[in-house]
Structure 1
Amino acid sequence: MGRMAQISSPDVDQELEQLLQNQSRLNSPWRTIVWNDPVNLMSYVVYVFRSYFGFAEDKANRLMLAVHHEGKAIVAQGTREEMERHVQAMHEYGLWATLDRAEL
């Protein structure tokens, strides 16, 4: 038996390129954003940041103040799947949170 010929065509090459671009987008960094809300106390937001993310008190306070004064804070960055878990956890704590693709 002879060698298998490598199959290549413009359509296959284009499809492969599209798959690689999609994979790159999935692997690009994402971030978890916590938004200001009229319900939760500042002390509770610090508690959530410390207990869930394990932040030191000063970092948790800085992030909480960013949420309070600027309306939002980026609290984590990583894969989309990780950030989806963080957003879900923030919702379970009663905080407003979303995920967004990080700017490169």
Structure 2
Amino acid sequence: MATDYDAPRRSESDEVSADSLEELTARRNEAQSAVVDVDEGETVESFELPGADLSGEELSVRVVPKQADEFTCSSCFLVHHRSRLADEDSNDMLCRDCA
């Protein structure tokens, strides 16, 4: 049960006599509401699903192969510049973020 520390304190005898079982049940039922707030402005069309059909879209991305001064991190599998290599002496190619 949540306690309101700002409310004035009552003694235990006042609390037992004032709070009957019916009164507590009525208060709990008032606090719980079965009504769900639905925003009519939000429609299903406004959501873009991850598997959406993009057949009408034309995407052009230039893919560049890994350069001589780059490495692939063995932990996150991202391609980084050699300056991001955590430990050049180690056999593991780890970026600074993963090290």
TM-score by length of 2: 0.21
Higher helix content, 1 or 2: 1
Higher strand content, 1 or 2: 1
Higher Cα radius of gyration: 2
